[in-house]
């Protein structure tokens, strides 16, 4: 057994660990790779449920218990300054402290050079080959007496721009590298392979969100003058399946949600109606998610799902099943544990806790007033970028393909599913 080496986890209590995150790789892709004989030294991949919006910095800060990023992407709206902040300049030059979105990056032993974060979407094949070889060389040169944490971003670019077939080639290369690492390090090194979020594997078209809102009478501004009403800010950066909307006044929030029902590509939007409640508005109706800090016999808080004129999250059949099982109380609440068990593989995985938490906790430092989940096949983002990129896949929405990442180990049998918020002990414990 190896000797203890401080606070990195390995030593007398468990083997040394290589923790390797593959950006944007869905669980279904890893399952397909294992069926082809790749990664056969790993156990079955767990469903790692990524938080909404399903974006890298949001997900990894939750999975690793790190500080929340400023926004959902590098371009965000600062409601205190009443203006957009960040943007492309975050990818220019060196990775200085002001360009580190979350403290999880302080834990990384390997990540791509800063320029790769943008170039991966322009020249994905070249970037992933370079990235994987650099990781291999850096890992072999690192001290063999402590854990090693690496993040490979090239997989995300391959899926976005080239699709799953090209990612399959990259995974074959990674499988060879991991076999070499296992031979080099010996069986005492555990390899934990995981992703931050999934991806919808289909070609996508852009939703003209800002122009639609202007036609509906809202002012889409990069900054708000004092006293402005019906003004909205909708940061447009990456080409992703969600949108974050910031509103100048409370009434505008509900008005925008109602207006978005008619826009092609929008699945639903959510906003915090009050403390303890989130409103879901979609083409299939309106619902309210309510949470109460009432401890059940299983130690879980409780949620209830109340619909009005439809079922936007397609949860009524599950709610009926919970009632038949006697797991819904007289006020309509069921425990968080029971909801999670029944919805981990739902079309919207873990929707009640996931959507509620996205607005009522500090997933980011500048939480949007309204979060929009788009249908698979649609994205929102920066229009100049969209002009020279053909988007073969994307992520960001609350649907199962984007929300279901994976987690698997060479040494341990892991749970069938785990929330991002509960992943840290499995990753770093």
Residue with tokens 């599913």: 417
Q: Where do the CATH 3.40.720.10 domains begin and end in the chain?
A: 16-67+102-202+395-428
Q: Do 405 and 195 contact (CB within 8 A), yes or no? A: yes
Determine the Cα–Cα distance for residues 44 and 28; give it in Å rounded to an integer. Answer: 12
Q: Which two tokens stand for residue 220?
A: 């889409």
pLDDT at 123: 73
Per this entry, what is the length of the chain?
429
Whole-angstrom CA distances from 278 to 62, 272, 358 are 20, 4, 10
Determine the Cα–Cα distance for residues 315 and 347; give it in Å rounded to an integer. Answer: 10
pLDDT at 126: 80
Indicate the CATH number of 16-67+102-202+395-428 among 3.40.190.80, 3.40.630.30, 3.40.720.10, 3.20.20.370: 3.40.720.10
Determine the Cα–Cα distance for residues 187 and 394; give it in Å rounded to an integer. Answer: 36
Q: Do 243 and 249 contact (CB within 8 A), yes or no? A: no
Q: Which two tokens stand for residue 285?
A: 């109706």
Residue 80: count other Cβ atoms within 10 Å of its Cβ: 7
pLDDT at 115: 65
**Residue 404: how many CA atoms within 13 Å on its side-chain side?**
24
The model carries a pTM of 0.92
Residue 139: count other Cβ atoms within 10 Å of its Cβ: 20
pLDDT at 382: 82
Relative to beta strand 75-78, strand 46-49 is unpaired
Determine the Cα–Cα distance for residues 209 and 240; give it in Å rounded to an integer. Answer: 13
Q: Give the pLDDT of the chain (429 residues) as one tens digit per residue.
A: 233 333 455 544 677 899 999 999 999 999 999 999 999 999 999 999 999 999 999 999 999 999 999 999 989 999 899 999 987 666 555 555 665 678 898 899 998 776 666 666 677 778 888 888 999 999 999 998 899 999 998 898 888 888 888 899 999 999 999 999 999 888 889 999 999 999 999 989 999 999 999 999 999 998 888 777 899 999 999 899 999 999 999 999 999 999 999 999 999 999 999 888 999 999 999 999 999 986 555 667 899 999 998 999 999 999 999 999 999 999 999 999 999 999 999 999 999 999 999 999 999 999 999 999 999 999 999 877 666 677 889 999 999 999 999 999 999 999 999 999 999 999 987
Q: Do you find a cis peptide bond into 53, omega within 30 degrees of 0?
A: yes
């Amino acid at each position: 057994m190896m000797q203890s080496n401080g606070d990195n986890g390995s030593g007398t209590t468990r083997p040394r660990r290589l923790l390797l995150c593959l950006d944007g790789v869905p669980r279904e892709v890893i399952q397909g790779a294992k069926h082809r004989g790749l990664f056969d030294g790993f156990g079955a991949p767990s469903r790692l449920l990524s938080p909404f919006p399903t974006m890298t910095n949001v997900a990894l800060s939750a999975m690793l218990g790190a500080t929340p990023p400023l926004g959902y992407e590098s371009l965000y709206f600062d409601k205190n300054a009443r203006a957009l902040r960040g943007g492309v300049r975050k990818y220019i030059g060196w990775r200085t402290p002001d360009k580190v979105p979350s403290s999880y990056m302080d834990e990384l032993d390997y990540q791509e050079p800063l320029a790769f974060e943008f170039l991966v979407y322009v020249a994905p094949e070249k970037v992933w080959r370079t990235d994987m070889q650099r990781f291999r060389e850096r890992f072999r040169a690192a001290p063999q007496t402590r854990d090693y944490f690496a993040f490979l971003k090239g997989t995300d670019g391959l899926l976005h721009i080239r699709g799953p077939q090209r990612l399959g080639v990259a995974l074959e290369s990674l499988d060879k590298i991991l076999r070499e690492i296992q031979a080099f390090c010996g069986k005492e090194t555990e390899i934990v392979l995981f992703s931050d979020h999934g991806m919808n594997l289909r070609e996508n078209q852009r939703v003209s969100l800002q122009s639609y809102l202007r036609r509906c009478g809202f002012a889409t501004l990069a900054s708000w003058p004092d006293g402005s009403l019906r003004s909205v800010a909708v940061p447009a950066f990456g080409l992703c399946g969600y949108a974050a909307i910031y509103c100048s006044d409370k009434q505008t929030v509900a008005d925008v949600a109602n207006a978005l029902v008619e826009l092609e590509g929008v699945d639903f939007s959510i906003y915090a109606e009050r403390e303890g409640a989130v409103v879901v508005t979609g083409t299939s109706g309106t619902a309210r998610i309510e949470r109460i800090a009432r401890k059940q016999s299983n130690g879980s808080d409780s949620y209830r799902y109340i619909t009005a004129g439809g079922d936007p999250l397609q949860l009524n059949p599950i709610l009926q099943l919970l009632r038949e099982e006697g797991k819904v109380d007289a006020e309509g609440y069921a425990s968080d544990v029971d909801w999670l068990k029944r919805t981990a593989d739902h079309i919207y995985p873990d929707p009640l806790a996931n959507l509620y938490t996205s607005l009522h906790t500090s997933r980011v430092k500048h939480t949007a007033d309204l979060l929009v989940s788009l249908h698979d096949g649609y994205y929102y983002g920066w229009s100049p970028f969209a002009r020279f990129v053909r988007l073969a896949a994307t992520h960001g929405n609350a649907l199962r393909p984007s929300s279901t990442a994976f987690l698997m180990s060479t040494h341990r049998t892991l749970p069938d599913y785990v929330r991002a918020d509960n992943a840290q002990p499995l990753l770093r414990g």
